[in-house]
Amino acid sequence: HSPVCPISQLPADEVQSIPESSINRGINVGVAIIVESSDSHILMTQRSEHMRTFPRAWVPPGGHLECDESLLQCGFREVQEETGLVFTDDNSETSVLCLWESVYPVILGLGVPTSHHIVIYLHTRVEQTWQQLQTQVQLDPAEVQACAWLSTDMVEELCTGRSDGTSHHIKFISDSSGNGTSPAKLDISKMFTSLLWKCGYIYSGSQLALTRWLDLHKKLDIKLSSKI
């Protein structure tokens, strides 16, 4: 969890201010998927402005685990609901990437916790390029306002905090009618607060998932180079 996780830093007297309904609700479980194309690009989505928690945040597709649903079923369902992409065991390869304790608001200065989740991040590889996958994307404007496909170089920019705002890429903005997307410029430096990456600490689940995914690729590159 974050080094400033509200749960770990909550003073005893603040606990009394948390509604009993929130305390008795327990910890919810969420599932998010890092979808990786055959040309090593991963799909990120931007949450809609009106979302109650983490509005406008860039995150992998994901959501709540429902009763009698497996982690994989939940992940695939959420991807389909948010982006229109359909994945199954037959057209993808999936493994667990990492877990994250997610709390909202993210720091006590913004208020006492109202949402508490354990998020399981899955990593799914598919046999299509990002361009092929993008032609199938139908974003749900109720939940997602944009999406983007990030290469390893782009994720490296984020993880090192060295994006200075001069590097622009493409994002796809949701049509309000849900009938497609339109391309627009994406400033990598504005996807996340670069200072959080530069300090060396992990402050969000998306940050952890992207870091772990990049580590996987670095290890793979080392293995491949050792065989040459």
What token pair was written down for 221? 């590159």
Is residue 168 one of the residues assigned to a domain? yes
pLDDT value at position 166?
A: 55
Residue 46 lies in a domain: yes
Query: Looking at the domain assignment, is residue 204 inside a domain?
Result: yes
Residues of the chain short of pLDDT 50, as ranges, are none
Distance CA 23, CA 177 (A): 38
State the residue for tokens 């390869």.
93
Please give the structure tokens belonging to residue 114. Answer: 């109202």
Q: Is residue 30 part of a domain?
A: yes
Residue 56, Ramachandran bin (φ over 0: left; ψ between -120 and 50: alpha; else beta): left
Domain holding 25, by residue range, is 6-227
**pLDDT reported for residue 180:** 80
Encode pLDDT of 82-103 as tens digits: 999 999 999 999 999 999 998 8
User: Residues of the chain with pLDDT > 90: what percent?
Assistant: 53
Q: How many domains does the chain have?
A: 1
Residue 1 inside a domain? The answer is no
- pLDDT, position 224: 55
What is each CA distance from 5 to 10, 133, 196, 202, 203, in whole angstroms?
9, 36, 14, 11, 8
State the CATH number of the domain containing residue 64. 3.90.79.10
CB 124 within 8 A of CB 157: no
How far apart (Å, rounded) are the C-alpha atoms in residues 129 and 109?
43
Say how far apart CA 137 and CA 170 lie, in whole Å.
15
